[in-house]
A and B are shown apart, each in its own frame.
Chain A
Amino acid sequence: MSFAEIAPVAHHHPWPRRIVDAGYWRDIAGRLAAGEWGFLALWGDTGAVHLAFLEATTPATVSVATLPCPEGRFPSVAKALAVASRPERAIRDLFGLEPIGANDERHWLDHGRWPGGRPFAAPAPGDAEDAAGAAPGLPPYRFLDSTGPGLHQIPVGPVHAGIIEPGHFRFTCNGETIVRLEERLGYVHKGLDRLLAGSTIERAAKLAARISGDSTVAYSFAFALAVENALGVKAPPRAEWQRALMAELERLANHLGDIGAVCNDAAYAIMLAHCSSLREQVLRTAETAFGHRLMMDGIQPGGVAVELKKEGAAAVRGLIKVVRAQFPELVELYDNTASLADRTVATGRLDPALAAAFSAGGFVGRASGRSFDARRDLPYAPYDRLHFEVPVMTEGDVNARVWIRIKEVEQSLDLIEQILAGMPTGATTADLLGHIMSTCEGLAVVEGFRGDILASVRISADGTIERAYLRDPSWAQWPLLEAAIEGNIVADFPLCNKSFNCSYSGHDL
């Protein structure tokens, strides 16, 4: 029997979830490693692991395979597929499930400091030392070895010099050249999965909106869709269009801010000054239109929280005019400044083969030849009715990542105009409560500015969240930054790092 012939579980929407045995599990891992299918997410549950992937059909379809783990172990996917390594380490830390055959057995999110030990698993006898020994329980983290004459290490973080999130970077260098970068993350782990479990849909939506502040709209969007898919509810058309408007404003704000910030990391401050003013104008417009600069909590399961008024729409129109007038000049400035190109071209190159192997989403993937955008490839309303292009380049350097974002700014401006022109009238919220019957599950994939965010929810018969997992695109992008930086000089790290702009909070959960 092939995987597709296994009967899917009931009440999982809109894509199928199938319960598999270890044989199928290994087979799927093999197909993912062979590049036949694309990796989406790997996450834990009480006594089971789930693997979501993209089947290369046209149009693409998503599948979830679930492997029950009654003995507390599962065959490692990471053994064949590197992108699965950190998710597996996280599963072990949170659920106590052991990936068998994994080649990296170090803890990931667990730094040995949680007072209660593992959040989802009662400590098994074998774990005793682990759980009881929390702070200072775990042995010191063992960074990977780099040996050779003339090598030295530079440890950086978790507290960084700038205003950014915390994480640790361990550079091994030969002179100025980086031989190896190893990241250590998990510092901002807030226990999201545990907080989500058992909470009401309303509270869970608030938590989802605070997984990664720069993508609050995209996270709320993904969570809302997953809940609606589970319950078989559709948000009213006007709400769908308003959601897309918020999502594009968020993309615009982040792209504008980051284009300036990348240039600033190449010591070209004038771009930062101009881009950050444009970003500020986007945020002010968002406040006028949706009552919050980051549009936090603007999207809720069932619809949207704020009604877009006439003045709001007018403010957005005004904003588009301003950006259309000013942005092209900045692009020209970026493109015609040799000293800037000297820093961005050929720096931090991510090999397209690696981007494909890691199923890297967002501008990181698209700057290295991976043409995937959930808005186009797994279309959700209203993107199925909108026209846009998905820019792709193959150079994979800092410059290509900046260019993808420049082109996406242009696409977002177009999209916003289409959305304003086509915005239907009518209600902006749908009832959810009447649809809560028995345990049901929903999945959604939404394209945030950073890449595709996957949301999976299981809602119990009493209407509370039994299990919710939201996967940030950074899971695949962080390890690729380690690869892209190799052979670059230390001074180019901030530039490369900013050009990836991975999320710490979204990854650490």
Chain B
Amino acid sequence: MRRILFENAFSRALTEPAPNADDPELAELAGQLQHGIDRIFGGSLSIRQVDAGSCNGCELEIHALNNPYYDLERFGLKFVASPRHADVLLVTGPVTHNMREALERTYNATPAPKWVIAAGACAIDGGVFAGSYAVVGAVETVVPVAIRIPGCPPSPKTLIKGLLALMAAKAAA
């Protein structure tokens, strides 16, 4: 163990640089919020993730945000355990009928101001599950959505850009 700690102390961090403010994907995501990105840093967001029926693929990539390569917390973005502590609900999945009430209750438990992110193809429009008897569909049919992050699943890089776009919008609000 001491060796690993020792090596860690002297090795370069794996964490990769943040996207530039002129990154096209970032600009596109920020465009959804009718807001440009002037700066990447400044502020913080507490995120409560809600799986409203996903296949778990989206969760895997959201999880990856905490690994040393992406190290989400350096941006002031952090996952919290309770909706009462959250600014943002990061919602995945095609909202199943069996999860609808839980999502609504989580939303209602989140203090204003609050933003909902629909992450992934399923959250945006139901994805491949759209039309099923068991599925409500897009997250926005259940709670108001501020920003949609595309992908099946969205890559950690795209997720970060979506979150940064939202953080900038919040700072300007």
Which 9 pairs from chain A and chain B are nearest by CB?
Answer: A213-B57, A191-B134, A161-B81, A191-B132, A276-B67, A213-B56, A113-B97, A213-B55, A210-B55
CA distance A210 to B49 in the complex (A): 20
CA distance A135 to B99 in the complex (A): 12
Instruction: Say whether B51 contacts A165, CB under 8 Å.
Output: yes
The residue from A113, A159, A296, A329 contacting B152, defined by CB atoms under 8 A apart: A296
Q: Which B residues lie within 8 Å of A277 (CB)?
A: 14, 67-69
Closest residue of B by beta carbon distance from A110 = B98
Does A503 sit at the interface, judged by CB under 8 A?
yes
Instruction: Say whether A187 contacts B102, CB under 8 Å.
Output: yes
Q: Which A residues lie within 8 Å of B94 (CB)?
A: 190
Does B115 sit at the interface, judged by CB under 8 A?
no
Closest CB-CB distance, A83 to chain B, in whole Å? 23
Closest residue of B by beta carbon distance from A330 = B4
Instruction: Say whether B68 contacts A276, CB under 8 Å.
Output: yes
Contact with A along B110-138 (1 / 0, CB 8 A): 00000000000000000111011111000
Chain A residues within 8 Å of chain B by Cβ, number: 52
**A to B CB contacts below 8 Å, 23 in the list:** A113-B100, A114-B97, A158-B99, A159-B102, A165-B56, A165-B59, A189-B134, A190-B94, A194-B134, A195-B129, A210-B152, A211-B55, A212-B56, A216-B57, A257-B63, A273-B68, A276-B67, A277-B67, A280-B68, A293-B155, A294-B60, A296-B152, A505-B54
Contact with A along B68-103 (1 / 0, CB 8 A): 110000000001011100000000011011111110
Instruction: Say whether B54 contacts A213, CB under 8 Å.
Output: yes
Instruction: Say whether A186 contacts B98, CB under 8 Å.
Output: yes
Q: Which A residues lie within 8 Å of B93 (CB)?
A: 188
Contact with B along A169-195 (1 / 0, CB 8 A): 000000000000000001111110011
Does B149 sit at the interface, judged by CB under 8 A?
no
Instruction: Say whether A115 contacts B133, CB under 8 Å.
Output: yes
Instruction: Say whether A329 contacts B4, CB under 8 Å.
Output: yes
Q: Which B residues lie within 8 Å of A206 (CB)?
A: 128
Closest CB-CB distance, B100 to chain A, in whole Å? 7
Instruction: Say whether B134 contacts A119, CB under 8 Å.
Output: yes
**Which of B4, B14, B67 has the largest number of chain A CB atoms within 10 A?**
B67
Q: Which B residues lie within 8 Å of A372 (CB)?
A: none
Does A434 sit at the interface, judged by CB under 8 A?
no
Contact with B along A446-473 (1 / 0, CB 8 A): 0000000000000000000000000000
Closest CB-CB distance, A140 to chain B, in whole Å? 13
Q: Which B residues lie within 8 Å of A216 (CB)?
A: 55, 57
Q: Which B residues lie within 8 Å of A164 (CB)?
A: 51, 59
Instruction: Say whether A163 contacts B59, CB under 8 Å.
Output: yes
Does B50 sit at the interface, judged by CB under 8 A?
yes
Does B45 sit at the interface, judged by CB under 8 A?
no
Closest residue of A by beta carbon distance from B83 = A159
Closest CB-CB distance, A261 to chain B, in whole Å? 8
CA distance A432 to B152 in the complex (A): 26
Given A111-B97, A279-B64, 4 other A-B residues pairs in contact with their CB atoms under 8 A: A189-B96, A210-B55, A213-B55, A276-B64
